[in-house]
Structure 1
Amino acid sequence: MCAAFWSPSWDLPRFPPLLKPQFQSTIAHSRIIELAHLISENTSTIENALVAHKLPTPSFDPAVSVTFPADITVARDIVLDATQELHDLLIPPMNLIQRKASYNKLACMKAISRYSIQNCLDVGETKTYAELATACGLSERPLKHLLRHAMTMRIFAEPRKGVVAHTAVSQLMRNHDCKAWLELGTEDLWPSSVKLVDALGKWPDSEEPNHTGWNIAHNAPEPLYERLAADPKMAARMGASMSATITNNPAFDPVHLQRSFDWEALGSSLVVDVGGSHGTVAISLAEKYKNLRLISQDLVSTIDSAAPVPGDVADRVQLMTHDFFTPQPVEAEAYLFRQVFHNHSDKYAALILKALIPPLKRGVRILVQDACLPDPGTIPGWREIDIRDMDLLVKTSFNAWERDADEWRELFAKADSRFEFVRITQPQGSALALIEARWTGEA
């Protein structure tokens, strides 16, 4: 990673990454003690902060809801990484392989989703397996075996033998958007993931969006985004699923975009949010920065389904139909792309950037809020797992990859040498980085 243009603000854990295997056998005993101390010290930090903020301690009780304050982000990172490493050190390697490769976890979730088991039990209510089987339509014996496996993941609980109750996790599955996420994952994405390696073998080095595991799994000739455009039900499920991911994960909060760039310096400039969906991000920026003017562009079907812009910013936020593969019609001081490029291979991402060129003047900023893959072991491990999962997801679904810093720089150079790469900024606690470039062509 090139330090000259990479400026993350992660506070890294105060302990080293996983030790190299050849050293494990000689010093593993000291490592587990070190991990135990880290867990104890930082758990105390978390507990003290929760008390100071008058927040409840974490619990799987569905009646307890905890929002962790920002000032314990580093302590949480340390505890989560240390507990995972300690767990992995204390089980035999074969058990570790089996647990990491468990395909049965998704089988349980698919059953819960398919039979809407989470909705057959009210929060605070208990039912026997027989009662739950009658309510959901799945036979009692498989229901019992599936749910007892799910309970090992904190999904449902058995407070006394033969009786099922909700946990905070299974309760969340009752949420409309979370239920959509569960359906999308088990019905669409899981079968596609199984076919990822087959797609790599069938179409080596392809950048075409219809050469994916999703295409093989669903016997579909068209790219996934064309299917979404033609299938309103599937598109709604995808949209709700993405909403669940963002709403329930502070790492995707649009507030991180505000922290990534000096928006005040733009004054009353015009910013175009390209591929901005229903304008949510544009509206949030307009509400925060009172002089900023914004246009949020997306396809006709998306703009037509958007709610009206709130009255307090309606004079500064406009929704506009535009296909980002066609020439950009608006001249602005900055163009924002939030989670657009990670759905496109370099071939097509470069075309999106080329389509932006016609109205550009020298000095115009191109701001991309998207994932930036870290070098291994340079961010908290539990966060790295999430970004590596997303990396394979976009490959499985769209034949694209998430990009690291070098690949972002190469993408702009591939599109046009007049794009000057400026910097990458990653606010603490954000899943997304801000990749900034500047147009150096003729004014």
Structure 2
Amino acid sequence: MTLIGTPLVATLYTWSIFGLLFSFPFTMASNNNNNNNNNNTPRIVELAAQISTSVAQLQEQLSAEGLPSPSFDENFSAKYPANVTQLRDAVLDASAELHELLLDPLMVLFKFASISNLVSIDAVARYKIPDMIPAGGRLSFEEIGQKTGLEKNVVRRLLRNAMAMRILQEPEPGVVAHTSISKFLANPAINGWAQFEARDTWPATTRIVDAIQKWPNSQQANETGWVLANNGKTVPEVIATEPERAMRFANGMNAIDWVPGYNISLLPTVYDWASLGNVKIVNVGGAMGQAAIELAKKFGNLTVLVQDSAAMMGGGVLVPAELKDRITFQEHELFAPQTEKAAVYFFRMAFRGLGDQFAEQVLKAQIPVLESGAKMLIQDVVMPEHDAVPLWRERTQRSVDTALQCFGNGRERYLDEWKALLAAADQRFILEQVHVPKDNLLGILEVTWKA
């Protein structure tokens, strides 16, 4: 079986919002889920004390920096300074554990398995209810019903379920107002992501285990939960034939820049680009040149050639006039043999949507032009081992890793898997260093070609 629409599949998965919106760094953290203590203090009492101490310290830090205390007020912006990261992690993990200890087993399962929550999120996003409510304003259930064409009881059912998740609020009976979360959902990119999650991702993820049973251990993009949920069509085949869904996908892509630690503006800070000297970088799978622009803006010693399929480049983004002499574009499919000689080849999230056999093909495609000493810089997730990061981060990352499987049998990779992938492609790919900056979601694997 061959990979359907191979070049477009790979590039689309590279930018998959599901992989982009939620993943976390390979950093060490204390394990807050350890139930073994050295005294007779009940665990729930111990957790309560941890929460109390950490919250007090967290608030002290926020006050010292003149920052507001966390709130669901529609004007609150959840931006936390780096020096409170550990305190925040401690509170989130301890409060989650305390909450789950006090639930019955069935309620713990329900907490993680309830699908009705996504129904309300979909309704709020699809009807664009956050757009109806003016900043600081209010609307009644009846008024929202008039705007949506829905009866009051339908509006009330959907919105009160959303309110239970802190999406919208009911400051007085029958009246709806914003919270910080519903205000965030008014952002077109976030709205697009929410709709794509509910209408496209969810049906596909429900078929992941079916696909595993039907095609055990498959790496093929046409043997997935997505294909089972879409009448045999792969992601690019659906996007090519269904404009409305293609638009949802495209709008969702724009949500990437709203993920803390994932914003492309952080790219210049995650590696010592200046140390490369006056070099040419080939940005393989560089889409519309967003990464190239960020690098060229900050480092005058770099010139960047952006390679991708014509469909993904789409004419390129508007390159600032002062950078046009250092950023060029070239149509080049991801799996095609590389034709450009350069000192550095840069891949930003180009492998997470691919099974190993196809990721190997991408690496091997670069070999024809590689000279000894050439660098491959791979910006991607390095999966943490169990208990290596705070539990709340780990839960999200495991969930995203699972979701990646439904689109094209891709996955996030652990460090040993990255090493195995490079060795399988060619023993001359030498992993020199792995850079994972604190609180950044993507690492840089620095690989040198040693002929």
TM-score under structure 1 normalisation? 0.91
Cα–Cα, structure 1 residues 239 and 294, in superposed 2: closer, same or farther, change >3 Å? same
State whether residues 128 and 163 of structure 1, in contact with CA within 8 Å, keep that contact through their aligned partners in structure 2. Answer: yes
Structure 1 residue corresponding to 2:118, chosen from 82, 86, 106? 106
The CA deviation at 1:276 is: 1.2
Paired residue type of 1:142: V
Q: Secondary structure at the match of 2:378?
A: strand
Q: Aligned to 1:251, what secondary structure does the other structure show?
A: coil
Does the aligned pair in 1 maintain the 2:28–2:388 contact within 8 Å?
Answer: no
Kept after mapping to 1: 8 A contact 2:33/2:93 = no
2:268 to 258, 270, 285: 258
Residue range with higher mean Cα deviation, 233-242 or 408-417: 233-242
Q: Secondary structure at the match of 1:336?
A: strand
Equivalence map 1:231-310=2 (5 Å): 231=242, 233-244=244-255, 246-310=256-320
1:207–1:346 Cα contact (<8 Å) kept: yes
Give how far 1:48 is off. 2.6
Q: Which residue of structure 1 lines up, in the alignment, with residue 29 of structure 2?
A: 12
The SS at the match of 1:358 is helix
Q: Give the deviation of 1:336 after TM superposition.
A: 1.1
* 2:413 counterpart of 1:403: yes
| Number of the residue aligned with 1:59 | 71
Change (3 A) 1:248 1:308: closer
Q: Deviations over 1:176-212 (max 9, x none)?
A: 1111101110110011111111111111121110111
The Cα of 1:30 is off from its aligned counterpart by 3.4
Q: 1:97 to 1:439 in 2, by over 3 A?
A: same
Relative distance call for 1:89 and 1:306 in structure 2 (3 A) is: same
The whole-number CA distance in structure 2 between the counterparts of 1:169 and 1:224 is 29
Counterpart of 1:184? 196
Matched, 1:76 2:60: no
RMSD: 2.1
Q: Distance in 2 between matches of 1:200 and 1:240?
A: 30
Q: Measure the CA separation in 2 of the matches of 1:184 and 1:126.
A: 27
Equivalent residue, structure 2, for 1:4: none
**Aligned partners of 1:121 and 1:132 also within 8 Å:** no
Distance 1:28 1:168 in 2: 41
In 2, the alpha carbon distance for the partners of 1:239 and 1:181 equals: 9
SS of aligned partner of 2:322:
coil
2:7 alignment partner in structure 1: none
2:403 paired residue number: 393
Quick one: distance in 1 between partners of 2:402 and 2:135? 35
Between the aligned partners of 1:204 and 1:360, the Cα distance in structure 2 is 36
Indicate if the aligned counterparts of 2:290 and 2:317 stay in contact, CA closer than 8 A: no
Matched to 2:377, the amino acid is: L
Tell me the residue number matched to 1:93. 105
Mark the CA change 1:434 to 1:102 in structure 2 (over 3 Å): closer, same or farther: same
- Give the letter for the 2:27 counterpart: W
TM-score w.r.t. structure 2 length?
0.89
Q: Judge conservation of contact 1:257–1:434 (CA < 8 Å) in 2.
A: no
Matched, 1:383 2:393: yes
Residue 447 of structure 2: SS of its match in structure 1?
A: strand
Native 8 Å contact 1:277 1:302 kept in 2: yes
**Aligned partner of residue 19 in structure 1, secondary structure:** coil
SS in 2 for 1:270: strand
Measure, in 2, the Cα distance between the counterparts of 1:338 and 1:205.
Answer: 26
**Counterpart residue type for residue 265 of structure 1:** S
Aligned 8 A contact 1:11 1:428 in 2: no
Please, which of 431, 436, 439 is the counterpart of residue 446 of structure 2?
436
Identity %: 36
Correspondence for 2:373: 363
SS at match of 1:342: coil
Instruction: Spell out, residue by residue over 1:50-99, the C-alpha distance to the aligned partner (whole angstroms, 9 max, x if none).
Output: 22332222211112224211222222222211211121122222211111
Answer whether contact 1:154 1:167 (CA < 8 A) is retained.
yes
Post-superposition shift, 1:233?
A: 4.5
**4+ residue runs of structure 1 moved beyond 4 angstroms?**
26-29, 229-233
Shift of 1:238: 2.1
The answer to whether the Cα contact below 8 Å between 2:430 and 2:449 also exists between their aligned partners in 1 is yes
**Offset, 1:275:** 0.9
2:191 maps to a residue whose letter is K
* CA distance in structure 2 between the partners assigned to 1:94 and 1:28 by the alignment: 28
Measured against aligned partners, the alpha-carbon deviations of 1:87-115 in whole angstroms (never above 9, x if no partner) come to 11222222111111111111111222332
Letter aligned with residue 136 of structure 1:
T
Higher relative contact order (CA 8 A, sep 6+): 2
Q: Matched residues in 2 for 1:349 and 1:231: separation?
A: 28
CA distance in 2, matches of 1:360, 1:121: 57
Please, which runs of 5 or more residues in structure 1 have no aligned partner?
1-7
Residue correspondence of structure 1 range 143-222 to structure 2 within 5 A: 143-221=155-233
- Which of 119-128 and 145-154 deviates more? 119-128
Q: CA deviation at 1:155?
A: 0.5
Deviation of 1:431 after TM superposition, in Å, equals 1.6
Distance 1:93 1:305 in 2: 54
312, 323, 338: which one pairs with 1:328? 338
Structure 1 residues 135 and 232: CA distance shift in structure 2, 3 A: closer
**CA displacement 1:361-404 (0-9 Å, x = unmatched):** 11111111111111111111121122212211210111111111
Tell me if structure 1 keeps the 8 A contact 2:26–2:383.
no
- Counterpart CA distance in 2 for 1:136 and 1:350 is 50
SS state at 2:301 partner: coil
Q: In 2, Cα distance between the equivalents of 1:43 and 1:352?
A: 47
1-structure distance, mates of 2:39, 2:190 = 43
1:401-427: per-residue Cα shift (whole Å, max 9, x none)? Answer: 111111111111111122112232211
Alpha-carbon displacement from aligned partner over 1:259-281 (angstroms, at most 9, x marks no partner): 43221111111111111111111
Q: Secondary structure at the match of 1:341?
A: coil
Asked if the contact 1:115/1:138 (under 8 Å) is kept, the reply is no
